[in-house]
């Protein structure tokens, strides 16, 4: 043979025994929010650390044996390693026996670290932060998701500004996942029925401090080729693939937890994707405890919480009925329902032709919440079709405003400053706003220096990342050096980075290019803007926007003043949010359900400037940031955009820029530092995941778990009774007769303030008793926007009964003058109901 013959030779990495703790630490993502652990890995080899994008597993594979031998002999390193290792074990030890209900958390994506590509944007980062917080806050929680082979894409931008999406296959031995094994050491597998076959998935475990996240992976040889695709891409493939993914996450997710031996009290459905958890649990309750569908549903609802994240109806996942039936057709029989009844679980009205996952989630959940106060209100409107007869504001849809994980997002430098001034126990006591208040004790110069230092660090980082990507795409070298030279660590720097969905209105700033040019090019008071973000591969409009910004950034007047940095990921987000002076957000109201990136900024003293939408409605206080009004002025979007753009330019010109550049003889602006301090002292404390998880516990987990345990107790006694009662009421409901209504003249004509007027209603309750049926008068007024607004609900008393004929009475006294509407309605009454919409019967008389 004259040609070379190559055979494969594998050299496995080998870590000396003494350094074995490194391996264990690298396999618990706790390292990702622990500064000492991060520094430890970086110290092993700073170059490889960067090259592997801060992936310690990959790093340990790549480091030479020679280097390990050196480290083994380096006492300082070994001591530091042992300290980190001990810290991790102490941390885990403190979380062995936890109190409180056990939570099972389901999400389609998790943004934990860039090395584990199972997230695309805000929803995922939020879920990732939440798991880290659950660990820190000692919450008893297990999480379920999917392990994607390709995950979400890496973004590169061509010379022409086109977004190119690169999907790299993840090698699962290089990311922090490990096979989940059962007691016998076998790899745990689950299966979900697809037409004519089973879709199998094997389970991987991710360790996040004390929390386990289990990920289902269908990409192995137990499945047909096309089924292996199911877990290839996050939000990839067609609607049919999405349905398979959601079946796997929901049905498969519950099967996985059962195989692993979990029995949770609360099932938290983060967005509607996982809503089928409710169906699977109903099926299990029925099969194992011989319960009826209604009884099982009672239990499942009591123990399920649905968090919705989407403020537009079209954003909610829905599957065309025929497609849905093709996959879920056989499930109906398993829970004793006809197909028509089954599909109604995902519809508000029978004539709808799609099965809506948010409707399913809402129907199977006692608790429902939006992710900010405003989004809670918006969600009432989106889900109102499910609750006919109720006014939107009566709906039992609450909110928990999203937060961010402090140890992940605060810069190391800030963490040190916080420890110095806020005290050693600050991180554990983040909820104590008095501690944050101590920011006012920090000398102004120290705060200014900190912001400058982090900005300089960011500019350096961008220069490297920017030059690197521009060289790769063969950009003109002269242009590159011009951009790099113009980037100014002393200029007021504005950051804008997020998904390029059109509602985020990244274009707003560019409505008047002359004005923008004047703003950035003032030689005395220079300003620069840094942009980053990905557009969904199917979102042409979002990609066009990126292209437009890239084009503008190459115009002579904007070179080095408007920069687009490619591939927005967690690491870039950290650098930007810690480094810029202002974080800008300009969504179309009210489409930003919460938004979290600005919250990452405020804990780093980065001032927020945003439309009052999402979290900023609650966060903004005068003197601690800047805001555009919450109300829309125009219905026509283009006019609204014009107005908002103008307001933004004006706020820059008249407020932000003068405040920043009004620098004293020591070289800093006292007014600016005031705003920075207010940002940290007044805003940041309310938007941590510590506050968020506490809200979930107080508003949902704890009360729901306690009711659920009552429903379970004594062989489901309360469940059986409640369902029997609901049956009884449902059967008798339509037979209830209104015998008489007597309203005093005052009510039908005009009431005098402060005087009392009687109302009487006589009902024939037939087989029901006055204890079962309540009667109320609902008083509304017409608000400024022309919508009906609830003023008051007055309860009638059941006064006397003759047989089944019952007289209800009420004395009305109104104290505020005005014009009102009133209506009478009856409703089923039982103190075991958690809220009115739990049993949504309502009749207006």
Footprint of ligand PLP (CB under 6 A): 121-122, 125, 498-499, 568-570, 573, 595-597, 600
Specify burial of residue 197 (Cβ count, 10 A radius: 0-12, 13-18, 19+): exposed
Residue closer to ligand PLP by CB (options 470, 568) is 568
- Nearest C-alpha neighbor of 611 from the set 633, 586, 639: 586
Q: Rounded to an integer, what distance in angstroms lies between the CA atom of residue 551 and that of residue 537?
A: 20
Residue closer to ligand PLP by CB (options 140, 606) is 606
Element at 544 (helix H, strand E): helix 540-553
Residue closer to ligand PLP by CB (options 121, 346) is 121
Is residue 317 a contact partner of residue 269, using CB atoms and an 8 Å limit?
no
**DSSP states along 139-151:** --EEEEEE--SSB
Is residue 629 a contact partner of residue 616, using CB atoms and an 8 Å limit?
no
Residue closer to ligand PLP by CB (options 155, 597) is 597
Residue closer to ligand PLP by CB (options 596, 837) is 596
Q: How far is the CB of 72 from ligand PLP (least distance, A)?
A: 37
Q: How far is the CB of 615 from ligand PLP (least distance, A)?
A: 8
Q: How far is the CB of 577 from ligand PLP (least distance, A)?
A: 8
- Nearest C-alpha neighbor of 405 from the set 94, 113, 49: 113
Would you state the structure tokens that stand for residue 536, as one six-digit string?
């969904």
Identify the bridge partners of residue 611 per DSSP, sorted by sequence position: 628
Distance of CA 267 to the CA centre of its chain: 16
Residue closer to ligand PLP by CB (options 597, 686) is 597
Q: Rounded to an integer, what distance in angstroms lies between the CA atom of residue 263 and that of residue 544?
A: 48
Q: How far is the CB of 352 from ligand PLP (least distance, A)?
A: 30
Residue closer to ligand PLP by CB (options 123, 254) is 123
Q: Which residues have a Cβ under 8 Å from the Cβ of 26 and sit 6 or more positions away? A: 41, 56, 57, 59, 60, 176
Residue closer to ligand PLP by CB (options 154, 258) is 154
Q: Rounded to an integer, what distance in angstroms lies between the CA atom of residue 129 and that of residue 112?
A: 7
Distance of CA 452 to the CA centre of its chain: 31
Residue closer to ligand PLP by CB (options 107, 264) is 107
Residue closer to ligand PLP by CB (options 309, 836) is 309
HSE-up (13 A, CA, CB side) for residue 109: 21
**DSSP states along 484-532:** HHH--TTSEEEEEES---GGG-GGGGGS-HHHHHHHHT-SSS-EEEEEE
Q: How far is the CB of 498 from ligand PLP (least distance, A)?
A: 4
Give one word for 161, left, alpha or beta, with left for phi > 0 and alpha for psi -120 to 50.
Answer: left
Q: How far is the CB of 536 from ligand PLP (least distance, A)?
A: 13
Q: How far is the CB of 600 from ligand PLP (least distance, A)?
A: 6
Task: Give the DSSP letter of residue 752.
Answer: P
Residue closer to ligand PLP by CB (options 327, 496) is 496
Specify burial of residue 6 (Cβ count, 10 A radius: 0-12, 13-18, 19+): exposed
Q: Rounded to an integer, what distance in angstroms lies between the CA atom of residue 256 and that of residue 204?
A: 11
**Beta-sheet strands, E only, within 91-233:** 103-106, 141-146, 154-157, 163-166, 178-179, 189-194, 197-208, 211-217
Q: Rounded to an integer, what distance in angstroms lies between the CA atom of residue 665 and that of residue 569?
A: 39
Residue closer to ligand PLP by CB (options 71, 112) is 112
Residue closer to ligand PLP by CB (options 26, 372) is 372
Q: Rounded to an integer, what distance in angstroms lies between the CA atom of residue 801 and that of residue 166?
A: 74
Give one word for 409, left, alpha or beta, with left for phi > 0 and alpha for psi -120 to 50.
Answer: alpha
Is residue 400 a contact partner of residue 371, using CB atoms and an 8 Å limit?
yes
Q: How far is the CB of 371 from ligand PLP (least distance, A)?
A: 10
- Nearest C-alpha neighbor of 600 from the set 33, 175, 141, 49: 33
Q: How far is the CB of 586 from ligand PLP (least distance, A)?
A: 11
Residue closer to ligand PLP by CB (options 116, 483) is 116
Q: Rounded to an integer, what distance in angstroms lies between the CA atom of residue 719 and that of residue 282?
A: 13
Residue closer to ligand PLP by CB (options 123, 814) is 123
Residue closer to ligand PLP by CB (options 266, 546) is 546
Identify the bridge partners of residue 789 per DSSP, sorted by sequence position: 781
Residue closer to ligand PLP by CB (options 41, 616) is 616
Which CB contacts under 8 angstroms, 24+ apart, belong to 479-483? 479/554, 479/559, 482/559, 482/560, 483/559, 483/560, 483/563
Q: How far is the CB of 493 from ligand PLP (least distance, A)?
A: 17
Would you state the structure tokens that stand for residue 530, as one six-digit string?
């840094």
Residue closer to ligand PLP by CB (options 125, 580) is 125
Q: How far is the CB of 596 from ligand PLP (least distance, A)?
A: 4
Q: How far is the CB of 126 from ligand PLP (least distance, A)?
A: 8
Q: Which residues have a Cβ under 8 Å from the Cβ of 9 and sit 6 or more positions away? A: none
Q: How far is the CB of 534 from ligand PLP (least distance, A)?
A: 8
How many separate helices (H) and strands (E) can be counted in the chain? 33, 28
Q: Name the CA dihedral angle for 155, 156, 157, 162, rounded to a multiple of 10 degrees.
A: -60
């Amino acid at each position: 043979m004259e040609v070379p013959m190559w055979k494969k030779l594998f050299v496995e990495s080998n870590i000396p025994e003494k350094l074995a703790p490194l391996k264990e630490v690298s396999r618990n993502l706790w390292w990702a929010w622990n500064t000492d652990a991060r520094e430890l890995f970086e110290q092993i080899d700073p170059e490889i650390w960067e090259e592997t994008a801060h992936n310690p597993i990959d790093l340990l594979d790549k480091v030479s044996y020679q280097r390990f031998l050196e480290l083994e002999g380096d006492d300082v390193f070994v001591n530091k390693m042992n300290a980190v290792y001990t810290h991790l074990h102490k941390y885990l030890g403190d979380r062995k026996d936890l109190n409180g209900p056990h939570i099972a958390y389901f999400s389609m994506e998790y943004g934990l670290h860039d090395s584990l590509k199972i997230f695309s944007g805000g929803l995922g980062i939020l879920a990732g932060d939440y798991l880290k917080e659950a660990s820190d806050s000692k919450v008893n929680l297990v999480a379920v998701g999917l392990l994607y082979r390709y995950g979400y894409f890496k973004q590169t931008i061509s010379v022409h500004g086109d977004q190119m999406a690169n999907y790299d296959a993840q090698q699962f031995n290089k990311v922090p996942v490990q096979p989940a094994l059962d007691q016998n050491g076998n790899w745990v597998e689950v299966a979900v029925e697809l037409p004519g076959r089973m879709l199998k998935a094997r389970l991987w475990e991710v360790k996040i401090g004390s929390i386990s996240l289990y990920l289902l992976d269908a990409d192995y040889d137990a499945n047909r080729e096309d089924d292996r695709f199911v877990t290839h891409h996050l939000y990839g493939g067609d609607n049919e693939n999405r349905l398979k993914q959601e079946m796997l996450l929901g049905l498969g997710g519950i099967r996985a937890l059962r195989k692993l031996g979990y029995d949770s009290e609360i099932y938290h459905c983060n967005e509607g994707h996982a809503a089928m958890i409710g169906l699977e649990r109903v099926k299990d309750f029925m099969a194992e405890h011989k319960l009826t569908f209604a009884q099982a549903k009672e239990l499942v609802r009591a123990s399920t919480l649905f968090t919705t994240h989407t403020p537009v109806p079209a954003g909610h996942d829905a599957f065309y009925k025929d497609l849905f039936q093709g996959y879920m057709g056989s499930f109906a029989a398993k829970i004793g329902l006809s197909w028509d009844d089954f599909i109604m679980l995902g519809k508000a009205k029978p004539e709808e032709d799609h099965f809506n996952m948010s409707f399913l989630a809402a129907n199977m959940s006692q608790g429902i919440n939006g992710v900010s106060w405003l989004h809670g209100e918006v969600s009432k409107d989106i889900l109102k079709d499910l609750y006919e007869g109720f006014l939107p504001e009566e709906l039992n849809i609450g909110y928990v405003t999203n937060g961010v994980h402090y140890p992940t997002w605060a810069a190391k430098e800030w963490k040190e400053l916080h420890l110095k001034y806020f005290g050693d126990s600050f991180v554990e006591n983040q909820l104590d706003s008095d501690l944050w208040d101590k920011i006012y004790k920090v000398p102004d110069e120290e705060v200014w220096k900190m912001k400058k230092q982090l900005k300089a660090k960011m500019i350096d980082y961008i220069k490297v990342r920017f030059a690197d990507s521009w060289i790769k795409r063969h950009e003109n070298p002269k242009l590159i050096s011009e951009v790099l030279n113009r980037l100014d660590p002393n200029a007021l720097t504005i950051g804008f980075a997020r998904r390029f969905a059109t509602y985020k209105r990244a274009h707003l700033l560019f409505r008047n290019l002359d004005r923008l040019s004047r703003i950035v090019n003032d030689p005395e008071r220079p300003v620069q803007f840094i942009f980053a973000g990905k557009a969904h591969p199917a979102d042409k409009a979002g990609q066009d926007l990126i292209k437009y910004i890239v084009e503008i950034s190459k115009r002579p007047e904007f070179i080095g003043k408007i920069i687009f940095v490619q591939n927005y990921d967690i690491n870039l987000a950290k650098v930007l949010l810690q480094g810029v002076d202002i974080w800008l957000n300009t969504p179309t109201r009210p489409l930003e359900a919460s938004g979290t990136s600005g919250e990452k900024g405020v804990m780093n003293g980065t001032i927020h400037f945003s439309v009052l939408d999402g979290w900023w409605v609650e966060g903004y206080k005068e003197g601690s940031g800047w805001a555009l009004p919450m109300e829309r002025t125009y219905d026509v979007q283009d006019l609204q955009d014009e107005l908002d753009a103008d307001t933004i330019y004006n706020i820059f010109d008249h407020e932000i820029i003068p405040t920043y550049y009004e620098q004293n003889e020591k070289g800093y602006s006292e007014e600016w530092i005031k705003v920075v301090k207010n940002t940290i002292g007044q805003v940041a404390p309310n938007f941590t995941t510590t506050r968020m998880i506490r809200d979930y516990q107080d508003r949902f987990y704890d009360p729901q778990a306690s009711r659920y345990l009552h429903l379970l107790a004594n062989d489901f006694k309360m469940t059986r009774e409640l369902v029997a009662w609901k049956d009884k009421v449902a059967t008798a409901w339509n037979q209830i007769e209104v015998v008489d209504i007597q309203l005093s003249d005052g009510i039908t004509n005009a009431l005098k303030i402060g005087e009392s007027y009687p109302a009487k209603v006589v009902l024939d309750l037939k087989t029901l008793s006055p204890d079962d049926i309540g009667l109320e008068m609902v008083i509304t007024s017409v608000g400024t926007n022309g919508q009906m607004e609830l003023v008051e609900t007055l309860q009638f008393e059941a006064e006397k009964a003759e047989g089944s004929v019952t007289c209800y009475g009420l004395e009305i006294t109104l104290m505020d003058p005005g014009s009102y509407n009133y209506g009478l309605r009856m409703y089923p009454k039982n103190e075991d109901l958690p809220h009115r919409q739990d049993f949504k019967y309502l009749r207006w008389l």
